[in-house]
Amino acid sequence: EAEVAQSPRYKITEKSQAVAFWCDPISGHATLYWYRQILGQGPELLVQFQDESVVDDSQLPKDRFSAERLKGVDSTLKIQPAELGDSAMYLCASSLPRTVSTDTQYFGPGTRLTVL
Amino acid sequence: LAKTTQPISMDSYEGQEVNITCSHNNIATNDYITWYQQFPSQGPRFIIQGYKTKVTNEVASLFIPADRKSSTLSLPRVSLSDTAVYYCLVLPYGGAGNNRKLIWGLGTSLAVNP
């Protein structure tokens, strides 16, 4: 069964450092999501891509976070500089094109970020 | 996006049937109801999706009344491994976007006891 790949699985960094997360969606899935999940809360959507275009990044803290999906396949989420409050699980998900689906999302294993 | 309301937590015992209800009073005509399961330190996993009446798969059943203002996820004969957080989402056909925000609530934390 095809899966969403994410790396690294765990990342420990010091505040003010830069971090980057990578996601490879399921082949053929045009829609890609980055979520942040703080312990005990539901996932919070940071950015949604349709192919290489951003559909929604209204919750992305753009002063320190950036996301790209240059060729419409894999994606990178970057934080610079990292702050203590960024410690969370970062989840990537993908789904079939919006026009032909109800957005059933398939999630990767996530990256656990700890900022010291 | 239609706002959903679920119980924060539920307790059950092995072998029992568990029903988790989700309220979505302002569901739109083209909205579907989707449930996800999440284990600690893992990403959510799709369980079941429906539009109306009843949907059943190998994992669960989803009951949706005629007015579609609520839905009930039914897990038959739960085991310890069903201990997880369950999320109810309401999404339009064609997905979120076009000013339809994708919002996940706190979900329902189900604890299955021996």
pLDDT per residue over B49-79, tens digit each? 999 999 999 999 999 999 999 999 999 999 9
Alpha helix (H) residue ranges in chain A: none
* pLDDT of res. A104: 81
Cβ atoms B72, B19 nearer than 8 A = yes
Separation of alpha carbons A92 and A12, rounded Å: 19
Q: Do B101 and A99 touch (CB under 8 A)?
A: no
Q: For the domain that residue A66 is a member of, what is the CATH number?
A: 2.60.40.10
pLDDT digits (tens, 9 = 90+) for A35-93: 999 998 999 999 999 899 998 899 999 999 999 998 889 999 999 999 999 999 999 99
CA distance A68 to A26: 17
Structure tokens at A50: 């349709």
- Min Cα distance A7 → chain B (Å) is 13
**A7 touches A90 (CB < 8 A):** no
pLDDT > 60? residue B97: no
**Chain A residues lying within 8 Å of B105, measured CB to CB:** 42
The mean pLDDT of A9-13, rounded to a whole number, is 97
Residue B82 has pLDDT above 70, yes or no: yes
| A71: containing domain | 5-115
Split into its structural domains, chain A has a count of 1
Domains of chain B: 9-113 (2.60.40.10)
Total beta-carbon pairs less than 8 A apart between chain A and chain B: 73
Which residue, among B12, B8, B27, has the nearest Cα to B70 in the 3D structure? B27
Contact B73, B88 (CB under 8 A): yes
pLDDT at A97 over 80: no
**Quick check: B46 contacting A, CB < 8 Å?**
yes
The token pair that represents B48 in the structure block: 């079941």
Q: Which residues of A touch B86 (CB under 8 A)?
A: none
**pLDDT of residue A12 exceeding 90:** yes
Going by the DSSP 8-state scheme, the letter that residue A111 receives in this structure is E
Give me B9's structure tokens: 């937590």
